Structure 1
């Protein structure tokens, strides 16, 4: 054997002896360094809370791009104070402040402090949730929270699930299981091993016109193409119309296509409304279709004693998406995919000898990777929800949910009473689509409302969302902050009017 030449010079002994070489690595010799770094970060976050009075700085993309591009990544900074100062200049002072009531745009909630404490622990200890030997207690904390959520949904003892990176990943898992189980049940065909069957180009998945765009992306990723998604008409409150659904299924059958699944939405992104879950389940059962419920937004209703009934029928679904980082006040990311029958997850299991060998007893030595499709190394995000439930508790989270729904209902009443605004629909949750429409004054309403949104954003004063309905642009409020009061709403509506009138 030939000796391998040592081409890497060893570090100077002086640096090794005084630990300067390893001062950036988190280990027992750098506790003081860690405390210094965390303290600098804590001060920066506290300053962000105390000094931020509007949701955005108003900085333009070109200015932001130039500032980031000017940084020399080859030259490290000298200390943590310099580092955090740079991060403050480039990020913190321009970050969108989701916790302020003047932010009322997208599905971004303020976060609870117990979850932030958990995030510090998660990042430092850095467990991976794929196998027990990398997570130990983390494995069973995650499993307990999955079990708890399944119980809240109304699933039985055979249910299971996994934490995911977000609602889109969970929706992909739902459609993947729907596709593979249909092929196995109908044709005795294993897509996992053999690829798509010849009939796959005729598979059809039914969603409402208001369903999340991730369904199209999922169909594409699964090799079915976006053509597999059949959009079904909605009713006057923008919920999936069950009569239209029956007609759509029959129409596809008559064309020789093959229905495999229905996706119901519990909390649409644009209107916050819940599809009729019980009726949809009956149709899915009649035609032998997999039913997936995208409750990424509406899962917050599980916390509410007053409004939980809006999810009646969710327990009938084969699979469910929940986003804790939307409606449980968790930091990103914290989501889950749940199934009524744990055995349905076996179809995505793959054994690797170095990680989860086939001969291992998984009752004795569990491995969460057996339930995950795209994440081997996976963060212990479940700890955030655990700390939240253990300290904040379900009742208080449910109270926050009720407060937001009440504020949304009161806001809808304000919009309906004001002749300068046009409200499209009420909301089961907290999303209101409307536009500034001073009677008889403006013809180009879409252009005016888009200008209002953009102008307020770059003023930095208020951040609203927008969407198109029937080709027309509308403004959108997403009330996902229990700190938002009707007083704040009146202030924002007044600002919209002032801006709109100034732009006329």
Structure 2
């Protein structure tokens, strides 16, 4: 391709019409695919699709966007997992609202980088306003501050970085002696990113102490008391307690007021991982489930889970914005220290990332077009639907259902009777795989007390009770068929 031809693909004032037509073609293709998709997945295998992708010669461009869209149909669009389909019930993936998709198109074209003011200008101020808005919803005061991140794992990592530095600063021990003694107390049902963060932060291998949970998978305050006391007795330094407002499997919300009381008494940083439960911040009926979150030192929110935003859109919010200084590094070419004195707002001063997308725009567009109440109504809808699914399962003798979630997950399993019960684990694993292979529905799997269970994660308001009933029948058919085949030889021998 000649230099002149290559420049024709740059988005400039001279190519605005080409940009418009190319996006129209792409949007048309995606809209057609979404409108005609009749199942969440085709069931294609990695080996099969891998051959098609490997067969693409990346050194031989097709040149024509329409030809590339045709190719994309075969290597991606045809076999993508479609979260907008009402029978996608697996992970914390949501269908996205159109205002946010509009924001995605705008931010990608303008391509602002959120590290410094001279690369983002108004984008910085919009992110500031959204951080303030989120902090207000949490219940923090005017001293709060925060930054958008790539997701809950990064938000949790940064929160624990702040907690680590605050704990080390408060310790009478030299840093090298205190660091191996640092401990994080976290719910046994909490997110694995806490363990990953501890490793990345250079903490000891046993730095994360698991706090037992009750039958509803909520952290036991009495168990937290015991672990705090054990750490004191051993001379360990508790740098943070991590409470969860919406565990991945059970949607459980730890007793935040009781945990906050203990953190105040022990003078320990409290981080609340509300990556999933943050949708309650805009709920007209369930906001009280987050009571106590305003007493946290830091909070993780994932707008790309419970606010129906495209990935990625997350944030870390700190009650005392001054603690964000622990992520600050001044580079002469980018954000020299003198800019702080000149009151130049450089978001890189607060962020683990340098180059960073303007992901806040998606939430801004959503709030300005739909409003927070509308988002809350969508989230309330999926919580209602999960409650209905739990009722349905609890009344069906073919299934065993675990604790009722305050959010939108349902953990359950097919439970055979008689001699087939020994095949329960294998039957549920088979049912999930067979369901995905058929493409008729997608559900998740997990383990509860060492046993294999299935999981619905409901984040699509378009999912109906009939959809759920249909998926349960499919699961029962696959699992029951497996059990029949597994027990047939035994029955034949006893006949």
* TM-score normalised by length of structure 2: 0.95
2:146 equivalent to 1:161? yes
| Aligned residue number for residue 354 of structure 2 | 376
Counterpart of 1:184 (choices 169, 187, 209) is: 169
Distance 2:107 2:50 in 1: 31
Identify the range of structure 1 (198-207 vs 107-116) with the bigger mean alpha-carbon deviation. 198-207
Q: Deviations over 1:9-59 (max 9, x none)?
A: xx9xxx67xx43411111111123212321221121112111211010111
Q: Provide structure 2 residue ranges, at least 5 long, that are not aligned to the other structure.
A: 484-495
2:16 equivalent to 1:39? no
Identify the range of structure 1 (401-410 vs 149-158) with the bigger mean alpha-carbon deviation. 401-410
Residues 61-460 of structure 1 mapped to structure 2, 5 A cutoff: 61-187=46-172, 196-361=175-340, 364-373=343-352, 375-440=353-418, 441-460=420-439
Distance 2:289 2:205 in 1: 30
Q: Is the 8 A contact 2:161 2:326 kept in 1?
A: no
Q: Provide structure 1 residue ranges, at least 5 long, that are not aligned to the other structure.
A: 1-10, 190-195
For 2:270, what is the secondary structure of its paired residue?
strand
Distance 2:290 2:33 in 1: 37
Q: Deviations over 1:171-202 (max 9, x none)?
A: 0011111110011122386xxxxxx5222112
2:36 equivalent to 1:58? no
| Aligned residue number for residue 490 of structure 2 | none
Q: Is the 8 A contact 1:217 1:226 kept in 2?
A: no
C-alpha deviation, 1:424, in angstroms = 1.0
Q: Is the 8 A contact 2:218 2:254 kept in 1?
A: yes
Q: Is the 8 A contact 2:168 2:178 kept in 1?
A: no
Distance 1:476 1:166 in 2: 22
C-alpha deviation, 1:256, in angstroms = 2.5
CA distance 1:188–1:252, shift in 2 (3 Å) = closer
Identify the range of structure 1 (455-464 vs 37-46) with the bigger mean alpha-carbon deviation. 37-46
Distance 2:293 2:162 in 1: 18
* TM-score normalised by length of structure 1: 0.94
Distance 2:138 2:173 in 1: 31
Point out 4+ residue stretches in structure 1 off by more than 3 angstroms.
361-364
Distance 2:255 2:72 in 1: 47
Q: Deviations over 1:266-301 (max 9, x none)?
A: 000010010000100111111111000000000000
